[in-house]
Structure 1
């Protein structure tokens, strides 16, 4: 964490205000440490599926845009119906959390992810992702 703090301090001195950070792997025991970054409001926190976004937002607060956390395994191996309903569940959990929510894969998009599953993810966004705060 000291290295990350140093990088953020140097970037702030160069005028950068908001950041995108990714919580890779299970970071649930380390979440409090991320508060040390003192991220600006509107920074984006994306997360691996191993970190339940609702719990992440409860620890880190409501000042951020949260992103994630559709399992890359789900996008690769599941049926379109499974992807669709999991995306709905994630959207329902996160839609009134923080300053916004971005539904996205929990990590890099696997090259063997099924295109039909990406369509199911997009369809879930269109069907359930429009809401008012």
Structure 2
């Protein structure tokens, strides 16, 4: 096996681990949002072993849609990666802002300190920050009709 082959195998293993962690965390977030009434109720189902199978399926379908869009519209990696990265950035920012508001003492200080490096990355998202804002507007509009 050449060095290039070894690096390729390592890259595949690292990517699979990253994708697995991403799917697991995003599907759990989707499940929790649905369970608490902030997402579509159909995502709030779990198997007997507590696996949020519908949320996992939704993440897979969204990913497949992105790949189909890439094939049809000729999107490159930079277009595909920026959308989930921007959504993750918005989620982290809102999460640590909530933590800075809810916690006290050292935990509040830690959460507040975490906001600073996240804000440094915001300008790199550019116009793509409109996507989390649009999603939030749609969710709030749907919730207002319930």
Q: TM-score, length-normalised on structure 1?
A: 0.28
Higher helix share: 2
Higher RCO (CA-CA < 8 Å; seq separation 6+): 1
Larger radius of gyration: 2
